[in-house]
Amino acid sequence: MAVKATKKSPLKGNDRSHALNTHKRARKLNYQVHRLEDGTKVRIPARDKRTLRKEEKAAA
């Protein structure tokens, strides 16, 4: 089972229709499973996964 490894939370706000009706909505994060070098699985947002990949590429 993968563990969440971030403190990020969904972006919350209002949805507005053309009739200006409003209701709350949450833009949820795109969680992906990522395997670390030691073999553990973590669930991180796709944006963070992309950043990790860039850092690994720059380090190599």
Question: 10 Å Cβ neighbour count for 44?
Answer: 23
Q: According to the model, what pLDDT value does residue 43 have?
A: 93
Q: According to the model, what pLDDT value does residue 12 have?
A: 95
Q: According to the model, what pLDDT value does residue 2 have?
A: 77
Segment 1-22, tens digit of pLDDT: 778 888 888 999 999 999 999 9
Domain range for 38: 3-59
Query: 3, 35 in Cβ contact below 8 A?
Result: no
Structural domain count, the chain:
1
Segment 28-60, tens digit of pLDDT: 999 999 998 899 999 999 999 999 889 989 987
Q: According to the model, what pLDDT value does residue 56 have?
A: 86
Q: According to the model, what pLDDT value does residue 41 have?
A: 93
